[in-house]
Structure 1
Amino acid sequence: MSSSKNKTILTIDDEYLIRETISDYLEELGYKVIQAENGRAGIDVFRSQKPDMVLVDLRMPEMDGLDVLSIICKESPQTPIIMVSGTGILQDAIDAIRKGAWDYVSKPIQDMAVLDYAVTRSLERAELLRENEIYKQRLEEKVHQRTKELEKSNAQLRSTLEDIVESLSILTEKRDPYTSGHQKRVSVLAALIAQEMGLSEEEITAIRFAGQLHDIGKIYVPAEFLSKPTRLDEEEMAVIRKHSVVGYEILKNIQFPWPIAETIHQHHERMDGSGYPQGLTDSDILLDAKIIAIADVVEAMSSHRPYRPALGVEKALDEIRKNQGKFYCMDCSNALLRLFEKKRNLLFDLLYS
């Protein structure tokens, strides 16, 4: 794999004859060889010439081979280093390999083919590592580019979903002008509750979207029921209660990245099973639906309806306090009550806007 052409090898040895012998042999194989007579000089040459490989003697005056090895490994860990030693002690070889040497050759070198093999193998390994690094960088670039494309696509999808939700919300309010702005206010309040509970941005977005559509099923409720100036009778209420099922049917085939349809289906369920349409209890109700249920009650009680005047925010909060843990999720209720302690004026402005 590795070609000797254009490969430069630095040999560092305090013995001139050994340097020359090694250099002559490697040059015959086609390598360019540069020399240094001691460790300090070798480091200087390495830094200025940037060789492809280093052969370094273990025992030298001024700076020994292990010190040279440590410096080069720190500055250029991808450069192969072969330790050459005349001591013939196994522990020297072990220490050198542990400190970063790629191979170890004993001198005097009786068979130069041993050196050739060590050099060739180390250069091939270095080439493989370089190719792997290039491949890794290119892969990371492709992943980064693909991630950017996906982020752009997701942003476009999010924008489209925003438009769809807004259009459907407006459609609902056209059918029920007396609750104009109700879904939007529920959406904002529910998102604030979710934020107070420490939910993620993605979860908050899902709750905001579901809140803005929670009454979409009312487009199938007769207009005279929605605007009736007196309380609805049982038959009329039975029709009204179908709106969560109708909302689910409308939205279930839209590919939202969150359980929007299921949340809308459950937003009138209660913790004790007294809600509708399925009579679900605590753990069977989605957290998103629990949050929207509380926001829906507070907004509805705070607002005017055709059959009654607004009851006010304080009565709405009393309703939540009185029935938290029974009708309404305890954690969600506590988050709502904390919100009103922290942002009372802001929330009053929201509910009376």
Structure 2
Amino acid sequence: MNTVLAIDDKYDNLVVLRAMLRMLMPECVMLEALSGEEGIRIAKEKLPDTILLDILMPGMDGFETARRLKADPDTASIPVILLTAVENSAMNRTLGLKAGADAFLSKPIEEDELVAQLRAMLRIRASEAERRDRMDRLEELVALRTKELRETADQLALALDQTISVLANTVETKDPYTAGHQVRCAALALAIAHEMRLPADQLRGIHTAARIHDIGKIKIPSEILSKPGRITPLEFSLIKEHPMVGESIVSPITFPWPVAKIIAQHHERLDGTGYPEGLTGDVILLEARIIAVADVVEAISSYRPYRPALGVEAALAEIEGNMGTKYEPDVVKACASQIREGRFRFDD
């Protein structure tokens, strides 16, 4: 049974919402609050699946209530739909997004839109619960494996590989449109490193980091990752956080290689135009420079929700056209050699 918390200072509005939900979504239980303070208290106690929040309330308005809900770890993941009788302007939406709102509804509320928004938020909530459950299981698995690692070197190698597989699978279940991207990127990064005749231990570090380089995407809403159209600047700013998120996820795991740093730097570019820190030149780890090229080539070559696959020649044109500015020349040459001479091809 799903629970929806409605927060509105007007009791009549709550009566209307209660009647609409009883008729349109009988599977939902509605909780009620007549102020932001009461709503926050109920949200912390009951942990509803979605919150309907009026903006115009005396004392603590909807924006401040949303901010406090999103700042509290106990309630931060609960989707918030802002309700307003004020014109649903770009300014209101911007203020709402800054406060942490997930969606908006204008009064008077249309039945179809209410149901559609609530069902969308309930799906997000369910997805978040599943993700948290996966992360809890992952943390338990990592803890178990870490204990086993102390026993023998053989167990260390096996458990580490299993942990990498779990991490890799976690992000790909979150983003089905790029399922297999990390595997294909890792295969190309390894081929490039072989072409450059890097030491065996460094090869293993590159392959390991490439297999989980996008692990930080588990923090990005699925609706953004799989969005078929152009993303907004706000959405892109969220996407740009994934290297640092990935670094924070992986940092507690002890690797024989600088995996967390490689993940943090895989979107950096030689000329400083990359992210998240705008690093330049040799400040960027060689391993990250290799994965950067493999990542771009695989992404351009493959299908994405917002465009068809462009093919490997388009990918090579991108890295060769920006060789020495964005991409490491030796890495680009090794990649092009592997592909053009037939020593590497992506698996279907």
- TM-score of the two chains, using structure 2 as the length reference: 0.56
Seq. identity, %: 49
Match of 1:329 in 2: 328
Match of 2:207 in 1: 208
Match of 1:198 in 2: 197
Match of 1:242 in 2: 241
Match of 1:165 in 2: 164
Q: CA deviation at 1:156?
A: 2.3
Q: Kindly provide the amino acid, as one letter, of the partner of residue 274 in structure 2.
A: G
User: In 2, distance between residues paired with 1:306 and 1:341?
Assistant: 27
Question: Which residues of 2 match residues 139-288 of structure 1 at below 5 A?
Answer: 153-288=152-287
Describe the SS at the equivalent of 1:232. Answer: coil
User: In 2, distance between residues paired with 1:164 and 1:183?
Assistant: 15
Q: Kindly provide the amino acid, as one letter, of the partner of residue 217 in structure 1.
A: G
Q: Kindly provide the amino acid, as one letter, of the partner of residue 323 in structure 1.
A: N
Match of 2:338 in 1: 339
User: In 2, distance between residues paired with 1:155 and 1:268?
Assistant: 33
User: In 2, distance between residues paired with 1:267 and 1:154?
Assistant: 29
Q: CA deviation at 1:233?
A: 1.0
Describe the SS at the equivalent of 2:152. Answer: helix
User: In 2, distance between residues paired with 1:217 and 1:313?
Assistant: 26
Q: CA deviation at 1:239?
A: 0.2
Q: CA deviation at 1:264?
A: 0.2
Larger Cα Rg: Structure 1 or Structure 2?
A: 1
Q: Please, which runs of 5 or more residues in structure 2 have no aligned partner?
A: 1-148
Q: Kindly provide the amino acid, as one letter, of the partner of residue 224 in structure 2.
A: F
Q: CA deviation at 1:200?
A: 1.1
User: In 1, distance between residues paired with 2:275 and 2:320?
Assistant: 21
Q: Kindly provide the amino acid, as one letter, of the partner of residue 240 in structure 2.
A: R
User: In 1, distance between residues paired with 2:316 and 2:309?
Assistant: 13
Task: Please give the root-mean-square deviation of Cα atoms over the aligned residues, in Å.
Answer: 1.4
Q: CA deviation at 1:158?
A: 1.3
Match of 1:319 in 2: 318
Describe the SS at the equivalent of 1:294. Answer: helix
Q: CA deviation at 1:341?
A: 2.7
Q: CA deviation at 1:251?
A: 0.7
Equivalences, count: 199
Match of 1:296 in 2: 295
Match of 1:79 in 2: none
Q: Please, which runs of 5 or more residues in structure 1 have no aligned partner?
A: 1-149
Q: Kindly provide the amino acid, as one letter, of the partner of residue 285 in structure 1.
A: I
User: In 2, distance between residues paired with 1:155 and 1:198?
Assistant: 26
User: In 1, distance between residues paired with 2:340 and 2:153?
Assistant: 36
User: In 1, distance between residues paired with 2:275 and 2:322?
Assistant: 17
Describe the SS at the equivalent of 1:253. Answer: coil
Q: Kindly provide the amino acid, as one letter, of the partner of residue 247 in structure 2.
A: Y
Q: CA deviation at 1:231?
A: 1.4
Q: Kindly provide the amino acid, as one letter, of the partner of residue 325 in structure 1.
A: G
Q: Which is further off, 179-188 or 154-163?
A: 154-163
User: In 2, distance between residues paired with 1:331 and 1:153?
Assistant: 38
Given the alignment of the two structures, is residue 305 of structure 1 paired with residue 276 of structure 2, yes or no?
no
User: In 2, distance between residues paired with 1:206 and 1:281?
Assistant: 22
Q: Kindly provide the amino acid, as one letter, of the partner of residue 249 in structure 2.
A: I
User: In 2, distance between residues paired with 1:339 and 1:297?
Assistant: 15
Q: CA deviation at 1:342?
A: 2.4
- Listed one character per residue, the Cα deviations across residues 212-266 of structure 1 (whole Å, up to 9, x for unaligned) are 0000000000010011110111110000010001000101111011000000000
User: In 2, distance between residues paired with 1:335 and 1:155?
Assistant: 33
User: In 2, distance between residues paired with 1:202 and 1:176?
Assistant: 30
User: In 2, distance between residues paired with 1:169 and 1:251?
Assistant: 12
Q: CA deviation at 1:315?
A: 0.3
- TM-score of the two chains, using structure 1 as the length reference: 0.55
Q: CA deviation at 1:155?
A: 2.9
